[in-house]
Amino acid sequence: MTDFNQTQAFDLDKLGQLRDYFASYHSLPSYSYMQQLLNMRSKDTISKLIARLKLMGFLDVAPDKKLSPGRRFFERPLSNSTVQAGAFSATHHEGGDYITIDEHLVKKPSITELIPVRGDSMKDLGIMDGDTVVVEKRPTANIGDIVVAIIDDKFTIKTLGKENNQFVLIPANKEFETIRPKEQFYIYGVVAGQFRTY
């Protein structure tokens, strides 16, 4: 890995921690607390990190000289891969509060990824071809969770179940059969929400 790639990976890791902090407290930490939060030894290192994140558009400085989220702070990674799945009908809502996608769908920003859905195997749970699912990347899930799993190097989205002490992947469309993996499969993440654009 080159020095540039190492620095970028370091910066994005620290950005993830700042995003998690912001999700909890709706503000960014002070310079001094950031040093403790990010486990960085010197103020000079913190200053250089902030300068790089500002240059990339992730951080900005408010008129009162405090750090604020930049135009890219709330970006989420959009996967190049699609995931096999199903259909959904949008609900209609009038009035109420304004929310951001993060407030509504993203609880843990540093492990959240957006994955486009392709197919209709989950249509009876309202996950439609063309939707985007919000996935918390983690290798474990509970029975009944909707998961993105990897089988034969391909994504699929199903409900995690168990039969005869073996994990199975259950579709939400009677035209599809339950997947009973003969070999090991991997849980890429758990679906935390979804959205659709028109």
User: Is 27 known to be catalytic?
Assistant: no
Predicted pLDDT of residue 140 = 94
175 part of a folded domain: yes
Count: domains in the chain: 2
Q: For residue 23, tell me if it sits in a domain.
A: yes
- Each of the 198 residues of the chain gets a pLDDT tens digit; together they read 457 678 888 898 999 999 999 999 999 999 889 999 999 888 899 999 999 999 999 999 888 888 999 988 888 776 777 777 654 333 343 444 444 567 668 888 889 999 999 999 999 999 999 999 999 999 999 999 999 999 888 899 999 999 999 999 999 999 999 999 888 889 999 999 999 888
- Marked catalytic residue, from 158, 162, 174, 182: 158
* 47, 121, 137, 154: the active-site residue: 121
- Tell me the sheet residues that pair with 150: 155, 186
Residue 157: Cβ within 10 Å count: 31
Same domain, 63 and 96: no
> Are 105 and 37 found together in one domain?
no
Instruction: Reply yes or no on whether 121 is catalytic.
Output: yes
Q: What pLDDT sits at residue 182?
A: 82
pLDDT value for 99: 47
Question: What is the rounded radius of gyration, in angstroms, for the C-alpha atoms of the chain?
Answer: 20
Question: 138 and 179 share a domain?
Answer: yes
Q: Which residue has the tokens 């500002």?
A: 54
pLDDT at 79: 72
* Domain membership flag for residue 126: yes
Range(s) of the domain holding residue 88: 83-195
Mention every residue, 6+ apart, whose C-beta is less than 8 A from residue 164: none
Angle at 102 between CA 46 and CA 20, to 5 degrees: 30
Residue 27 maps to a domain: yes
Instruction: Say what the pLDDT of residue 184 is.
Output: 81
Residue 74, in any domain of the structure: no
Say if residue 13 is in the same domain as residue 99.
no
Within-domain flag for 24: yes
CB 89 within 8 A of CB 127: no
87 and 62 assigned to the same domain: no
Domain boundary residue, one of 45, 69, 93: 69
The answer to whether residues 119 and 21 belong to one domain is no
